[in-house]
């Protein structure tokens, strides 16, 4: 049965085909388009503005914790990449190589960076000499290339945009503290700015980053019950330092190796926003990162004073909010559908009768709730509405996650839940790789994380029945 409240008819219903719905939203909301390069996308102005707001928010958080931005080359000589064995083996299947410069074959292949640990380590070997040079707290905003077989806009593309933090520390304790601090920065950003609740935890050895001693992650649950790894933070110990001969003179005048971290969040977080908050009419954007927070739609612009009042309100509100005024010839109904599809948090309507009453109408994107608001207190009302919308998005996503999180105690329950109930599955694990691989084989789930907040569901492993070491979140993932 058709949704009578559906304004945007061109978007496939979520329940009908979630993958098609997602692609429709990306294209119709003009976030991105497919390009002539396989697996690469054109991020359009609206999508770019969304990414810029994400970037600016995160960047301010990084700088508040003492990090500085740098820019590294996009090419990595093969000999440099080979210096850390586990790292290069982990990325080998995804690496894109440059073999020719013009017409000439290169003497040494160049890797198009899939990540930049090796570049940072090469640089650190030149600039770190004493404990006084530490810590080095660097971050880079860039794009990277990974040769993916199956691609989807934002979620998995051959080239994607991200930030990658790379830090060096005097002691293991300081490096581990940094790893956990940056994971908390990501979690706070997701919850405070994106209204996305996340589970914080540690990856299993099978799922950790290539070359890392330990990997921490935040995991979010999408509308269709699949997990999305939304940000990761890695502790490397001093393995790269030994491989790249990075040493410093310590406080006791002895030669030591610094301890390293890296951490990253990418443009796939835009996919998380779409799949956490979106609905059958399109995007629903959290106010903190929405390119347009308030769209002004004047009603009956042929009447005297309406256009002028709308322009006056736009100039006034631009001092505190990201505002768009639509004076196009399109009908009011078309505009309502357009900005609903683009996920603009608030719509402000003003017409002749509103002007007479010194008021306007505010309409929330998430629930279409209308409020008549005095123009005298407009800024305060918009601020309150945006906060209420953020809080409602977060609570709705949290409630959905709780409803779609299941607890199982044996293999039959795991298989039954994985087959019939999309979502997170909490279950105990013995810590053995064989059980982790068997669960993927028979239930189609992967370990998402060992959450920091542990629960004792049973005493035994869900797979083999031996004594359990951890409670894990399992699930199917993007």
Q: Whole-angstrom Cα distance, residue 340 to residue 324?
A: 14
Model confidence, pTM? 0.94
Kindly report, as residue ranges, where domains of CATH 3.30.930.10 are found in the chain. Answer: 18-73+123-277
Helix (H) / strand (E) element for 231: namely strand 227-237
Residue pair 116/71 in contact by the 8 Å Cβ criterion: no
**Residue 437 structure tokens:** 């691989």
Residues in CB range of 376: below 8 A, 6 or more apart: 358
Kindly report, as residue ranges, where domains of CATH 3.40.50.800 are found in the chain. Answer: 294-386
Q: Whole-angstrom Cα distance, residue 448 to residue 254?
A: 41
Domain 18-73+123-277 classification at class level: alpha beta
Q: Please, which residues bridge with residue 256 across strands?
A: 248
pLDDT at 112: 96
Q: Please, which residues bridge with residue 169 across strands?
A: 259
| Cis, bond preceding 340 (omega within 30 deg of 0) | no
CATH pick for 294-386 out of 3.10.580.10, 3.40.50.800, 1.10.1040.10, 1.10.3860.10: 3.40.50.800
CA distances (Å), origin 392, targets 294, 370, 404, 474: 17, 15, 18, 27
Q: Whole-angstrom Cα distance, residue 193 to residue 393?
A: 11
Residue pair 270/230 in contact by the 8 Å Cβ criterion: no
Q: Whole-angstrom Cα distance, residue 298 to residue 226?
A: 41
How far from chain centre, in Å, is Cα 221? 12
Q: 66 burial class (0-12, 13-18, 19+ CB within 10 angstroms)?
A: exposed
Kindly report, as residue ranges, where domains of CATH 3.30.110.30 are found in the chain. Answer: 405-475
* 405-475 CATH: 3.30.110.30
Q: Whole-angstrom Cα distance, residue 169 to residue 171?
A: 6
**In a structure prediction context, what are the per-residue pLDDT tens digits for the chain, which is 478 residues long?**
345 455 556 899 999 999 999 999 999 999 999 999 999 999 999 999 999 999 999 999 999 999 999 999 999 999 998 887 777 777 788 899 999 999 999 999 999 999 999 999 999 999 999 999 999 999 999 999 999 888 999 999 999 999 999 999 999 999 999 999 999 999 999 999 999 999 999 999 999 998 899 999 999 999 999 999 999 999 999 999 999 999 999 999 999 999 999 999 999 999 999 999 999 999 999 999 999 999 999 999 889 999 999 999 999 999 999 999 999 999 999 999 999 999 999 999 999 999 999 999 999 999 999 999 999 999 999 999 999 999 999 999 999 999 999 999 999 999 999 999 999 999 999 999 999 999 999 999 999 999 999 999 999 999 999 999 999 999 999 9
Q: Whole-angstrom Cα distance, residue 249 to residue 362?
A: 62
Question: How large is the greatest C-alpha to C-alpha distance in the chain, in angstroms?
Answer: 81
Q: Whole-angstrom Cα distance, residue 303 to residue 307?
A: 8
Helix (H) / strand (E) element for 424: namely strand 424-429
**Residue 281 structure tokens:** 């009419």
Helix (H) / strand (E) element for 234: namely strand 227-237
């Amino acid at each position: 049965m058709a949704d009578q409240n559906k304004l945007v008819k061109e978007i496939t219903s979520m329940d009908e085909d979630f993958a098609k719905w997602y692609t429709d939203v990306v294209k119709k909301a003009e976030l991105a388009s497919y390009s002539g390069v396989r697996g690469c996308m054109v991020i359009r102005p609206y999508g770019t503005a969304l990414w810029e707001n994400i970037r600016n928010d995160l960047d301010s958080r990084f700088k508040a914790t003492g990090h500085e931005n740098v820019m590294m080359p996009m090419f990595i000589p093969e000999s440099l990449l080979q210096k850390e064995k586990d790292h290069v083996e982990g990325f080998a299947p995804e690496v894109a190589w440059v073999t020719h410069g013009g017409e000439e074959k290169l003497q040494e292949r160049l890797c198009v960076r899939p990540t930049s640990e090796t570049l940072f380590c090469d640089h650190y070997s030149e600039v770190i000499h004493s404990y006084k040079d530490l810590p080095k707290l660097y971050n880079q905003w860039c794009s990277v290339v990974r040769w993916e077989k199956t691609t989807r806009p934002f979620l998995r593309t051959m080239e994607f945009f991200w930030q990658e933090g790379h830090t060096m520390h005097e002691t293991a304790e300081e490096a581990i503290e940094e790893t956990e601090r940056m994971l908390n920065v990501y979690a706070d950003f997701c919850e405070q700015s994106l209204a996305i609740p996340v589970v914080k935890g540690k990856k299993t050895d099978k799922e950790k980053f290539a070359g890392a001693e330990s990997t921490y992650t935040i995991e979010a649950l999408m509308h269709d019950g699949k997990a999305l790894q939304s940000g990761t933070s890695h502790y490397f110990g001093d393995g790269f330092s030994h491989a790249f001969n990075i040493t410093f003179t310590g406080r006791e005048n002895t030669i030591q190796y610094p301890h390293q971290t890296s951490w990253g969040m990418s443009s796939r977080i835009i996919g998380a926003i779409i799949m956490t908050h979106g609905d059958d009419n399109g995007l629903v954007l959290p106010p903190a990162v929405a390119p347009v927070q308030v769209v002004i739609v004047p009603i009956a612009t042929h009447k005297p004073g309406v256009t002028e009042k709308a322009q006056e309100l736009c100039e006034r509100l631009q001092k505190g909010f990201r505002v768009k005024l639509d004076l196009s010839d399109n009908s009011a109904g078309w505009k309502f559908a357009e900005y609903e599809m683009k996920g603009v948090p608030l719509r402000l309507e003003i017409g002749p009768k509103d002007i007479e009453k010194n008021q306007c109408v505010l309409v929330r994107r998430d629930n279409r709730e209308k409020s008549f608001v005095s123009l005298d207190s407009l800024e305060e009302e918009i601020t309150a509405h945006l906060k209420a919308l953020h809080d409602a998005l977060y609570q709705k996503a949290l409630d959905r996650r709780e409803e779609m999180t299941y607890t199982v105690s044996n293999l039959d329950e795991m298989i039954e839940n994985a087959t019939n109930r999309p979502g997170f599955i909490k279950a105990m694990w013995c810590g053995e790789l064989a059980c982790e691989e068997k669960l993927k084989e028979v239930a189609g789930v992967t370990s998402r994380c060992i959450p920091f907040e542990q629960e004792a569901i049973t005493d035994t492993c869900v797979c083999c029945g031996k004594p359990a070491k951890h409670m894990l979140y399992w699930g199917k993932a993007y």
